[in-house]
Structure 1
Amino acid sequence: MPLTDDIKMISIDDHLIEPPGLWVDRLPAKYHDRCPHVEEITEDRVEPFYAKEVHLKKGMQVWRYEDTLEPNVGLTATAGLDVKDRNFSPVRFDQMRRGTYDPVARLADMDEDGVWAQAPFPSLPGFSGSKFLRGKDKDLALLCVRAYNDFVLDEWCAAAPDRYISLIILPMWDQDLSAQEVRRCAAKGARSIAFPDNPAGLGLPSYQTTAWDGVFAAAAEAQMPLSMHFGGSKIIPFVSPEAPQAAVTALFGITLFNSMAELVMSPVFKKHPTLKVAYSEGGIGWVPYALMRMDQVWEDYREYPIENNVDPDRRPSDVVREHIYSCFIDDPVGIGLRHDIGVDKLLWESDYPHSDSLWPNSRANAQKVFADVPTEEVRKIVETNARDLFRFH
């Protein structure tokens, strides 16, 4: 049995649903009507929700931040639901499993799933905290970012420090403030930074610029990897307007190939040789092809004078194997190709409580996926690689 009982599975991608009082409990009363807070819908009406419309009905609960409304969409909290009952409809907190928004209750769900530790990404702020980037009042937005991080560090992870890996968010509209927040949270024990997979997708400076040097230097100094979840930059794979959401979701891993290619052909890792990146929810089966293709292109372009951000001395595949970790939920193709990627750079995730999660059967499914993998390789992939990367010992 490759996945032996003594191996403690560590997931590096899960999600917490922020409890209703997260911001109002931490911000002064004068901000309570504008900071994120939960409101009850008292009459039927229609509100815009991204590119679609959501029909809000009396009795629903929604988040309000400044002048926007946003519900907790059903697919963000599907743990325990049959597939036929999963949809995009808004859900109330009393319709969710308590473990989605309560760190103590979450532990029981983790035990049932056979998962020892989790690294939860935010929900309402977006996977990289981009909601506050779009906030109109940047002073309020900064307070919201800090309040979220304090909640993660002082309440969520403090509920079980040996079972939660802390991911913080940044005030990305100001790189100096972002570097300060990295240092502030590092002093409180933060383990990683939820960072956009390609900040240019959010209208922010790209990896090719010097804008992020202070942030990356602070992260490297604190040994905090950048945790990048697909969708964190709001980059959506192109499909026709008539295509179903399933087509978009199936393609989302491509956005991490996008991120990887731009990162390794930028000055980032040359300037910050100890900086690490962990990709979430993109799968790993595509990585060997990406390494091959980037190396092929590098051979042709590395000496072009105009390609001044391409390192002519290091193959992209070598850069990836030194700096970038990739993770998966259920990827037998990728596991078969694990040595083409590097076993030391593979991580596992449970994605609780999202629709891709296999809860409460994550460990049982992993037994099947790892059936032909040596136990010591399994241990690295599901436990010790994460412990080393996140300093989680």
Structure 2
Amino acid sequence: MNDLTEFWPKNRVLNKGEWTPPVGTRFISSDDHLMEAAHLWEERLTGPDKDRAPKYWQDENGIFNLEVDGVSYNTPGFDLSFPEGRPGFWDTQKRLEDMDAEGIEASIVFHSRAAALIRMQDKDLWFKCIDVFNEWMAEWRMAAPDRLFPVAYLPTFYKPEMTRDYMQKIKDLGFKAVEIPSAPRGVRYNGKEMLPMWEAIAEAGLPLSIHIGVAIDYTGTGALAINLNRNLQPFNPLFGQLVFSGLFDRFPNLKIVFTEGGASWAASAITGADKIYRDYISAIKPRIEHKPSYYWHQNCWTTFMDDPVALDLIDWIGEDKMMWSIDYPHPEGVFGESMKIAKQIYDKAGEERFKKIVGGNAAKLWGI
């Protein structure tokens, strides 16, 4: 094995190491991923749309492939064995073994390839595909219902008026959490047309994760890294969008989790938004009731994996607002060195704040 592949997810060696965390520490990963079952949509879509189902299969090399209307939804020019090669991605028993090896008690689990279906032009069919995915995830979690907590994908940001009924379905299926993407094309989260969605989410009371997405906006030299850099850091403008639209004044019980974008961004986002509030207060419409930092500490959380800058900024971000994740089993995730990173958090944060960040905050937010 050469140096370029030994830390690919499928090749990582997992162990807890020699460090012993303080008694009473709960390790809950606030952002992990699963791989959807092969042939999920072909087998589960019903009615006249069945023949149009996305084709989704695992090939002889173990790689999952997705095709819609004859068009490949795989990332062009990208070796999928790099991010998707670990068996625990799709084999639940191996996932649990990996969690045990890393000392992870529970996992908040998000989609994988299902998110790519947002590219589908037929949004009615897309809605049905996401509905099938959510129903499948509700079954998937029963393999370890006290450890695996999948996050339902809310497909109503294109149909906000349907959100109340769909949120009830999500709750009836047993989900503790729901997600929407960070920047779906053609959707304005601060638009008046979205108010029925926000109202229904607030009424349902489930924490809403806004997860980073994959957008191929750049081409040319270095395009892969450029796109990754953009995709992994999207949240500063989104925070401002939610705050300055008056969303939190209208729905003060909203719980928003900015997911997989790190935590250090929050410090500059909060202080920058407070400065805008101070300097432009006479021109801002609507006139929000509090400084943006108030809404951060009342309504928002952020997840991170390995973010040493954030550990220097805990007093700005808030020890109750930060949640650690493994991001299993993505390349940017920290599984394979989880306890090494945990020790770094402990050394920087101290025992009380450490226990909140690595599991306590997640346990409280999602009721685990």
| Contact 1:256 1:282 (8 Å CA) reproduced | yes
Which amino acid letter does the alignment assign opposite residue 66 of structure 1?
D
Q: Does 1:391 find its partner at 2:367?
A: yes
Greater Cα offset, 20-29 or 211-220 = 20-29
Q: Does 1:212 find its partner at 2:194?
A: yes
* Aligned partner (choices 53, 68, 73) of residue 70 of structure 1: 73
- Using the alignment, how far apart are the partners of 1:221 and 1:191 within structure 2? 14
| Contact 1:331 1:369 (8 Å CA) reproduced | no
* Counterpart residue number, 2:282: 303
CA drift of 1:310 comes to 4.2
CA drift of 1:191 comes to 1.5
CA drift of 1:37 comes to 2.6
Structure 2 vs 1, CA of residues 326 and 194 (structure 1 numbering), >3 Å: closer, same or farther?
same
- Using the alignment, how far apart are the partners of 2:222 and 2:180 within structure 1? 28
| Contact 1:14 1:119 (8 Å CA) reproduced | yes
Normalised by the size of structure 2, how large is the TM-score?
A: 0.85
CA drift of 1:121 comes to 1.7
Answer 1 or 2: which has greater helix percent.
2
| Contact 1:321 1:345 (8 Å CA) reproduced | yes
- Indicate the SS of the match to 1:321: helix
Which amino acid letter does the alignment assign opposite residue 101 of structure 1?
W
- Indicate the SS of the match to 2:181: coil
Q: Tell me the number of residue pairs that the alignment of Structure 1 and Structure 2 aligns.
A: 349
* Counterpart residue number, 2:299: 323
Which amino acid letter does the alignment assign opposite residue 143 of structure 1?
K
- Using the alignment, how far apart are the partners of 1:203 and 1:282 within structure 2? 22
Which amino acid letter does the alignment assign opposite residue 273 of structure 1?
P
- Using the alignment, how far apart are the partners of 1:251 and 1:3 within structure 2? 35
The aligned runs of 1:60-99 (5 Å cut-off) are 62-71=65-74, 88-91=78-81, 96-99=85-88
Greater Cα offset, 316-325 or 241-250 = 241-250
| Contact 1:207 1:267 (8 Å CA) reproduced | no
Q: Which ranges of 4 or more aligned residues in structure 1 deviate by more than 6 Å?
A: none
* Counterpart residue number, 2:150: 166
Structure 2 vs 1, CA of residues 40 and 286 (structure 1 numbering), >3 Å: closer, same or farther?
closer
* Aligned partner (choices 179, 182, 198) of residue 194 of structure 1: 179
Q: Does 1:100 find its partner at 2:89?
A: yes
* Aligned partner (choices 148, 151, 173) of residue 136 of structure 2: 151
* Aligned partner (choices 170, 182, 186) of residue 203 of structure 1: 186
* Aligned partner (choices 5, 23, 37) of residue 41 of structure 2: 23
* Aligned partner (choices 301, 322, 328) of residue 346 of structure 1: 322
Structure 2 vs 1, CA of residues 384 and 40 (structure 1 numbering), >3 Å: closer, same or farther?
closer
- Indicate the SS of the match to 1:25: helix
- Using the alignment, how far apart are the partners of 1:59 and 1:348 within structure 2? 30
- Indicate the SS of the match to 2:303: strand
Which amino acid letter does the alignment assign opposite residue 350 of structure 1?
I
| Contact 2:179 2:210 (8 Å CA) reproduced | yes
Greater Cα offset, 110-119 or 22-31 = 22-31
Structure 2 vs 1, CA of residues 187 and 41 (structure 1 numbering), >3 Å: closer, same or farther?
closer
* Aligned partner (choices 258, 266, 276) of residue 237 of structure 2: 258
| Contact 2:39 2:57 (8 Å CA) reproduced | no
* Counterpart residue number, 1:337: 313
Q: Does 1:6 find its partner at 2:24?
A: yes
- Using the alignment, how far apart are the partners of 2:63 and 2:235 within structure 1? 35
- Using the alignment, how far apart are the partners of 1:322 and 1:60 within structure 2? 42
List per-residue Cα deviations over 1:21-51 (Å, max 9, x = no partner).
3223322375444212335889xxxxxxxxx
| Contact 1:295 1:317 (8 Å CA) reproduced | yes
| Contact 2:163 2:200 (8 Å CA) reproduced | no
Gaps of 5+ in 1: 43-57, 75-86
CA drift of 1:339 comes to 1.3
* Counterpart residue number, 1:185: 170
List per-residue Cα deviations over 1:67-120 (Å, max 9, x = no partner).
32223x69xxxxxxxxxxxx9214499x83321013333111111122111122
Gaps of 5+ in 2: 1-18
CA drift of 1:167 comes to 0.9
* Aligned partner (choices 166, 186, 206) of residue 224 of structure 1: 206
CA drift of 1:253 comes to 4.6
Structure 2 vs 1, CA of residues 161 and 310 (structure 1 numbering), >3 Å: closer, same or farther?
farther
Which amino acid letter does the alignment assign opposite residue 67 of structure 1?
G
